Structure 1
Amino acid sequence: MAELAHCANCDKVFVKTIRNICHTCYLEEEKMFDKVYAFLRIKENRSATLQEVHEATGVPEKTIIRFVKEGRLRTAKFTNLTYPCDSCGAPITSGKLCKNCVSKIEADLEVAEREAERKAKRQKTYFLLEDDE
């Protein structure tokens, strides 16, 4: 059954299908994507950074980042098209976290797991109190 929703971009009420935005905003986003992709298809622009693409096309950086995260712009072809890590802000080309942040989280998890194992192995000692009578 159709569901009514508010467009994430313009807050207009629309019938939600597979997108979180209305048809008008979808068409506008497609125009922005076409503009970005046309810019990047030019051989000398393939090494452009996120900031350079934004300045040349006028498309907001967060929209370009979303295109990259959705896989619509492949960073294998556009190697300098990076966006900031959600944790530290280092430039990355895929995912949400850089390798350093992932490594730190993994190390922290290992420490927590070892601590949990140590606590589980710790034996509890119970004493039985007897009456001397």
Structure 2
Amino acid sequence: MGELSNCPKCNAIFVKTPLKTICQDCFKQEEADFEKVYKFLRKRENRTALIDDVVEATDVEEGLILKFIRNGRIQLSNFPNLGYPCTKCATTIREGKLCSHCEADIKSQVKQMEREESHKRDLELQQNKKTFYAYMPKSK
């Protein structure tokens, strides 16, 4: 069941559910904005438009267009110059959450951490294997 919440866009009270995160009026406005964006992109001459061109032509804010892309409502395979920012560095990408450079950087850092952990474990094992001998004088 939903809970009462304020709409993050207009502050109106509505019943929030996992699928419904904004009020009905804002939802209708988003749908109208989606139609504007999609109508613009469907035209053959606009299929190669950049995101800035779409924002300028439709007066729909960039964040909302990126939301449409992330939610799969705008398929990037049909629009070669559209994309969304990498989560780490904001470079424009077309799939995943990270650009190839950031992904390689994170993988490199993970491998380095694994090497350090492995080295640390090896040192601990070596220290545990050391045998200590105590000198006991001969009794007379």
- The reply to whether residue 124 of structure 1 matches residue 117 of structure 2 is no
- The reply to whether residue 11 of structure 1 matches residue 14 of structure 2 is no
Shift of 1:81: 0.8
- Whole-angstrom CA distance in 2 between matches of 1:50 and 1:27: 22
Tell me if the contact between 1:2 and 1:15 (Cα under 8 Å) persists in the aligned partners.
yes
SS of the residue aligned with 2:9? coil
**Cα root mean square deviation, aligned:** 1.6
- Whole-angstrom CA distance in 2 between matches of 1:8 and 1:19: 12
- Structure 1's unaligned 5+ residue stretches are none
Shift of 1:6: 1.7
Identify the structure with the greater helix proportion: 2
How many percent of aligned residue pairs carry the same amino acid?
41
Q: Which amino acid aligns with 2:3?
A: E
Deviations 1:71-108 (A, max 9, x none): 11011001101222122221111232111101110111
- In the other structure, the counterpart of 1:40 is 41
Q: Which structure has the larger Rg over C-alpha atoms?
A: 2
Cα distance change of structure 1 residues 128 and 13 upon mapping to structure 2, 3 Å threshold: same
- The reply to whether residue 51 of structure 1 matches residue 48 of structure 2 is no
Poorly superposed stretches of 4+, deviation over 6 Å? none
- Give the aligned length: 133
Deviations 1:14-39 (A, max 9, x none): 11132110111100000000000000
- In the other structure, the counterpart of 1:110 is 111
- In the other structure, the counterpart of 2:93 is 92
SS of the residue aligned with 2:33? helix
